């Protein structure tokens, strides 16, 4: 099993879109038994992948796995895509940072992950340098950081590197790229080795349809770019 944290200090950089589509690429493209664990209390990844009709809702339980009230496996739900499971988020995660601080167990999330039975566990982390995000990065074998071509996003990425200090390998990804824009083209020239996710209306349409882009528009440029990022992730995990 390998754990991949998708994390950004800054919001609005396509983090959840990246997490959902990498999870789909892992399960469907690479035939890995994959779990996407949604740790973001906004629960956007859960909304995209989970059938939340009233009869399926089990609210305010996501935090309970950390306090040992519920085993993580009890909350894992299958998605509509073969090999892809979801551990959904809910509003209870808003208090998770305080709970983890009170528990004073820096490796609590890592130990919970060790008890899971998947080939790949992807963590959709909350933005900001929180206790939850810090535990996710400590537990991960690789941290994937989406970086939009902007000064603020680049600065946020550098702060992530400064915080980790080499403890966990990091894979930066050019995110929401429009090659027609000068600033974006300059960013690609400055870091040509980073994988690229193109800005595309298809990605927004797929999210609105509550489906990964690979299932919604598999031949689109953006769908292929997510597959390319996942191949880069697999290479880093193998290396």
Residues 109-128: tens digit of each pLDDT: 999 999 999 999 999 999 99
Q: Rounded to the nearest 5°, which phi and psi values hold at 153?
A: -70, -40
Query: Per-residue b/e over 186-213, b at no fewer than 16 CB within 10 Å?
Result: ebeeeeeebbbbbbbebbeebbeeebbb
In this prediction, residue 117 carries a pLDDT of 92
CA neighbor of 144 nearest in space, from 157, 128, 131: 157
Model confidence at 53: pLDDT above 70: no
Look-up: residue for tokens 């992807």? 122
Mean pLDDT of 217-238: 94
Residue 56: pLDDT band with limits 50, 70, 90: low
Residue 179: pLDDT band with limits 50, 70, 90: confident
Of all residues in the chain, the percent with pLDDT exceeding 90 is 75
What whole-number distance in Å separates Cα of residue 76 and Cα of residue 205? 26
Model confidence at 60: pLDDT above 70: no
What whole-number distance in Å separates Cα of residue 170 and Cα of residue 134? 14
Report DSSP state, residue 126: P
Model confidence at 193: pLDDT above 90: yes
Query: Per-residue b/e over 112-125, b at no fewer than 16 CB within 10 Å?
Result: bbeebebebbbbbb
In this prediction, residue 153 carries a pLDDT of 92
Mean pLDDT of 167-183: 93
Mean pLDDT of the chain: 91
Sequence-distant (≥ 6) Cβ neighbours of residue 27 within 8 angstroms: 33, 34, 81, 82, 83, 84
How far lies 148's CA from each of 31, 58, 70, 92, 218, in Å? 29, 35, 37, 30, 23
User: Which of the two residues, 71 and 19, has the higher pLDDT score?
Assistant: 19
Mean pLDDT of 141-152: 94
Look-up: residue for tokens 């440029």? 221
What whole-number distance in Å separates Cα of residue 9 and Cα of residue 7? 7
Of all residues in the chain, the percent with pLDDT exceeding 70 is 96
Mean pLDDT of 147-155: 92
Model confidence at 58: pLDDT above 70: no
Tell me if 122 sits within 8 A of 22, measured CB to CB: yes
In this prediction, residue 57 carries a pLDDT of 56
Model confidence at 27: pLDDT above 60: yes
């Amino acid at each position: 099993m390998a754990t991949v944290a998708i994390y950004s200090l800054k919001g609005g950089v396509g983090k959840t879109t990246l997490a959902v589509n990498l999870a789909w690429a892992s399960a469907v493209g690479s035939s890995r038994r994959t779990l996407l664990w949604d740790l973001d209390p906004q629960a956007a990844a859960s909304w995209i992948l989970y059938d939340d009709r009233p009869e399926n809702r089990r609210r305010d339980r996501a935090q309970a796995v950390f306090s040992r009230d519920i085993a993580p496996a009890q909350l894992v739900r299958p998605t509509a895509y073969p090999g892809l499971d979801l551990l959904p988020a809910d509003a209870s995660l808003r208090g998770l940072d305080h709970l983890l601080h009170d528990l004073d167990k820096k490796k609590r999330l890592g130990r919970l992950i060790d008890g899971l039975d998947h080939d790949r566990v992807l963590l959709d982390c909350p933005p900001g340098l929180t206790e939850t995000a810090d535990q996710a990065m400590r537990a991960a074998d690789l941290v994937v950081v989406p970086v939009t071509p902007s000064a603020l996003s680049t600065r946020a990425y550098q702060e992530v590197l400064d915080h980790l200090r080499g403890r966990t390998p990091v894979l930066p990804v050019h995110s929401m790229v429009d090659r027609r824009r000068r600033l974006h083209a300059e960013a690609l020239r400055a870091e040509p080795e980073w994988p690229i996710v193109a800005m595309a209306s298809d990605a927004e349409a797929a999210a609105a349809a509550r489906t990964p882009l690979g299932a919604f528009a598999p031949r689109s440029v953006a769908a292929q770019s997510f597959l390319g990022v996942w191949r880069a992730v697999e290479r880093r995990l193998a290396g």
